[in-house]
Amino acid sequence: MSPIRRHASVPFPLNFGKPAMSAIRHALNTKREDDFAAWYQEVISAADMAEESGVRGCMVIKPWGYGIWERMQRLLDDRIKAAGVQNAYFPLFIPLANFTREAEHVDGFAKEMAVVTHHRLIADGKGGLVPDPEAKLEEPLVVRPTSETIIGDAMSRWIQSWRDLPLRLNQWANVVRWEMRTRMFLRTSEFLWQEGHTAHATEEEAKAETMRALEMYRAFAEEDVALPVIAGEKPENERFPGAVETWSIEAMMQDGKALQAGTSHYLGTNFAQAADIHYQNREGREELCHTVSWGMSTRMVGGLIMTHGDDDGLRVPPALAPFQVVILPMLRDKPEDAPLLAYCEELRAMIAGQGALGEPVRVLHDTRPGKAAAKRWDWVRKGAPVIIEVGGRDMENGAVSLLRRDALWDAETGKPAFQSPSREVAAQSVPTILADIQNGLLVEARERREAHIVRDIDTMEGLAAFFGEDRKYPGWVEVQWSKPTGAALEKVVEQLKALKLTLRNVPMHVPPADGTCIFTGDPAVERVFVARAY
RNA sequence: CGGGGAGUGGCGCAGCCUGGUAGCGCAUCUGUUUUGGGAACAGAGGGUCGCAGGUUCGAAUCCUGUCUCCCCGACCA
């Protein structure tokens, strides 16, 4: 068996005469239920989103995958700017000394940093090149794993007075963390993200910013990615190195595992102290700033796949689809194609002239040579929300054949569930269909999540049974706990580790605790999610 | 980093044990016939077998090193 099951290899799975549902000839070889990890990789390759690069842990993001990321960037950036945060850009290289200033931060990242030590290569005499020993850097440069320290440097220069506060910056950038084990989009050595960094006069303001960013991520995830999430505070052991509080949004994947999809950290004055970010207050006294950082990464693309993908490939929420509608003329490579192309072009213009989800509809008239049916399956695997095929007969009837990606199959026949509206009706209904798909994906994901959250387990035995070997994709458990700290928390973490479980977050807006702690037996003070995690 | 597996035309694989002309399927290209649904037939192009050394008359095959990928573990805002 080869390392990666690439999609093109085996044309299609064979299906032996079974009626109805089971006769459906899915567009992927691997089903989610058979091997979720293999399915995930097949979606990425079949939807042409990304591929391995030959550099450890680094991927090439192909146009369809990158197009989805660009849409995420656009929509989140709009939200960031609407909140009054300004974009800026800081260097990729960070002086090593910056990292020695905040002790916990160093400990957290030291083991996974890429370091630049030379600035020149020299021939090794054997036809190769090696770093020139003469060109060794006086002080090594770290490739940023995150930019708190270098942005902190800038903040310390830019902030003098209480009038300079709050200072709220964001940058879109790549970062590098030398992870032991990588998975496309979910954990790559290099990844793309945005990181917001803000400085405030008071703890109160900084905490408000922390919560603002968290709420922004929740809204982005649910409204744009159609990804239902649970916002809450991370337990102490899951905190960002150097943070006072770490908050996250957590999403449930179709295999029941949790994915941290965005984080917001209240850093207290820890980084301000390390980078000397201080200001003169209204009374003329020097005060340290309270800083905050928040981030969302290309990991979100992985979350999208594992939430909305199905056995036919990806389903991209319309808000994020680079093309929301794809028109496929049934070409014959003959002169008679001309009127059909003109008919489709008119359809394209009708659709492009409309708005959906607050933007002009993004429609592609795919006129590449090739059979419409073959191209259709490509677009199904890529997850374009609406596919419209048009043949000569449609044209004669003034109609089109419309296929919704979220309702692909006719269960009766086991064939694609084409509708045949008139061209005008099809064009006019696109905005409604797109909005319906966007909402439908969110509802479907939320219902699936709620069906896989259990809240009535109050013993470790019960927890172990819930996540037992026979339970394939169990889900999450919300338990009550006494919020132990320090060594007592470590003990809990060890207990959970034995079951391959982690503490996710302490959800907001839930009823107060009213029972005993599942771990310690003490009176519980809050509720926390326990799950397997990516 | 520990254990296991794998790198051979674009993709999936066989060949390796037992060294001797680099093969198969899919994809691609050309032609013909088809085509309202994931076409058929015929022909053709494309690989210094991950990389670097070594053994040998001769290495995809044996030996050493190294890089990359996959799975499990450890690690991981």
Question: Residue A375 has what pLDDT?
Answer: 93
Minimum-distance residue to B69 (CA–C1'): A3
The pLDDT > 70 percentage for chain A reads 95
Strand partners, A61: A50
Kindly tell me if the per-residue pLDDT of A241 is higher than 80: yes
Which of A296, A226, A289, A229 is closest to A264 using CA atoms?
A296
What value does the mean pLDDT take over residues A378-383?
94
Strand partners, A119: none
Nearest-nucleotide field for A28 (CA, C1'): B38
What value does the mean pLDDT take over residues A179-189?
87
CA at A490, C1' at B75: how many angstroms apart? 17
Nearest-nucleotide field for A188 (CA, C1'): B76
CA at A336, C1' at B35: how many angstroms apart? 15
Kindly tell me if the per-residue pLDDT of A469 is higher than 90: no
Instruction: Cite the DSSP H helix spans in A294-422.
Output: 299-308, 337-352, 372-382, 392-397
CA at A54, C1' at B62: how many angstroms apart? 28
Nearest-nucleotide field for A378 (CA, C1'): B38
- Per-residue buried b or exposed e for A282-319, using 16+ beta carbons within 10 Å of the residue's own CB: eeeeebbbbbbbbbbbbbbbbbbbbbbbbbbbbbbbbb
Question: Residue A365 has what pLDDT?
Answer: 96
Residue A435 pLDDT level (bands cut at 50, 70, 90): very high
CA at A341, C1' at B66: how many angstroms apart? 55
Nearest-nucleotide field for A262 (CA, C1'): B77
Task: Report yes or no: A182 and A268 within 8 Å, Cβ to Cβ.
Answer: no
Which of A240, A264, A244, A260 is closest to A252 using CA atoms?
A260
Structure tokens at A321: 């689809």
CA at A531, C1' at B5: how many angstroms apart? 29
Residue A436 pLDDT level (bands cut at 50, 70, 90): very high
Minimum-distance residue to B37 (CA–C1'): A373
Which of A27, A66, A21 is closest to A48 using CA atoms?
A66
Strand partners, A141: A95, A116
Nearest-nucleotide field for A420 (CA, C1'): B36
Q: Which of A44-58, A142-156, A204-218 has the lowest mean pLDDT?
A: A44-58
CA at A330, C1' at B35: how many angstroms apart? 10
Is A453-531 in the same CATH topology as A61-307? no
What value does the mean pLDDT take over residues A405-424?
93
What value does the mean pLDDT take over residues A88-116?
86
More confident residue, A143 or A215: A215
Residue labelled with tokens 């006086």:
A138
Dump pLDDT digits (tens) for A440-453. Answer: 999 999 999 999 99
Nearest-nucleotide field for A246 (CA, C1'): B77
Kindly tell me if the per-residue pLDDT of A7 is higher than 70: no
Residue A5 pLDDT level (bands cut at 50, 70, 90): very low
Pick the CATH number of A61-307 from 3.30.70.3270, 3.40.50.720, 3.40.50.1820, 3.30.930.10: 3.30.930.10
Across A209-313, the runs of DSSP E, i.e. the strands, are 230-233, 245-252, 258-266, 278-280, 286-288, 290-297
What value does the mean pLDDT take over residues A28-40?
85
CA at A6, C1' at B56: how many angstroms apart? 38
* Segment A284-289 long-range contacts (CB within 8 Å, at least 24 positions apart): A287/A201, A289/A155, A289/A159, A289/A165, A289/A199, A289/A200, A289/A201
Residue A166 preceded by cis peptide, ω within 30: yes
Question: Residue A18 has what pLDDT?
Answer: 36
Question: Residue A377 has what pLDDT?
Answer: 93
Question: Residue A12 has what pLDDT?
Answer: 37
Question: Residue A472 has what pLDDT?
Answer: 78
Opening angle at CA A248, ends A242 and A251, nearest 5: 145
Q: In chain A, what are the domain boundaries?
A: 61-307, 325-440, 453-531
Question: Residue A109 has what pLDDT?
Answer: 83
Pick the CATH number of A325-440 from 3.40.50.800, 3.50.50.60, 3.40.50.300, 2.60.40.10: 3.40.50.800
Kindly tell me if the per-residue pLDDT of A271 is higher than 50: yes
CA at A10, C1' at B68: how many angstroms apart? 24
How far apart CA A196 and CA A77 sit, in angstroms, is 11
CA at A126, C1' at B54: how many angstroms apart? 16
Minimum-distance residue to B50 (CA–C1'): A54
Question: Residue A16 has what pLDDT?
Answer: 35
Model ipTM value: 0.85
Tell me if residue A478 falls in helix, strand or coil. strand
What one-letter code names the amino acid at A146? T
Kindly tell me if the per-residue pLDDT of A304 is higher than 60: yes
Nearest-nucleotide field for A112 (CA, C1'): B76
Q: Count of alpha carbons within 13 Å of A359, Cβ hemisphere only?
A: 16
The DSSP call for residue A224 is I
Q: What's chain A's average pLDDT?
A: 90
The secondary structure element, H or E, covering residue A164 is none
Cα A153 to the center of its chain, rounded Å:
29
Structure tokens at A446: 């939320």
Minimum-distance residue to B68 (CA–C1'): A54
Q: Count of alpha carbons within 13 Å of A325, Cβ hemisphere only?
A: 33
Nearest-nucleotide field for A330 (CA, C1'): B36
Pick the CATH number of A453-531 from 3.40.50.620, 3.40.50.300, 3.30.110.30, 3.40.50.10800: 3.30.110.30
CA at A469, C1' at B4: how many angstroms apart? 22
Strand partners, A356: A359
Kindly tell me if the per-residue pLDDT of A333 is higher than 90: no
Nearest-nucleotide field for A53 (CA, C1'): B68
Kindly tell me if the per-residue pLDDT of A345 is higher than 60: yes
φ/ψ of residue A490, rounded to 5: -55, -40
Task: Report yes or no: A166 and A201 within 8 Å, Cβ to Cβ.
Answer: yes
Question: Residue A414 has what pLDDT?
Answer: 86
Minimum-distance residue to B11 (CA–C1'): A9
CA at A125, C1' at B63: how many angstroms apart? 25
Kindly tell me if the per-residue pLDDT of A259 is higher than 60: yes
Which of chain B's bases lie under 7 Å from a protein CB? 1, 5-8, 10-13, 25-27, 34-39, 67-77
Q: Which of A16-20, A144-148, A232-236, A432-436 has the lowest mean pLDDT?
A: A16-20
Question: Residue A125 has what pLDDT?
Answer: 66
Task: Report yes or no: A349 and A401 within 8 Å, Cβ to Cβ.
Answer: no
Kindly tell me if the per-residue pLDDT of A30 is higher than 70: yes
The pLDDT > 90 percentage for chain A reads 71
More confident residue, A290 or A464: A290
Q: Which of A293-302, A352-361, A369-378, A462-471 has the lowest mean pLDDT?
A: A462-471
What value does the mean pLDDT take over residues A222-232?
97
CA at A54, C1' at B48: how many angstroms apart? 21
Task: Report yes or no: A97 and A115 within 8 Å, Cβ to Cβ.
Answer: no
Cα A88 to the center of its chain, rounded Å:
22
Nearest-nucleotide field for A418 (CA, C1'): B37
Residue A14 pLDDT level (bands cut at 50, 70, 90): very low
Question: Residue A21 has what pLDDT?
Answer: 44
CA at A47, C1' at B76: how many angstroms apart? 28
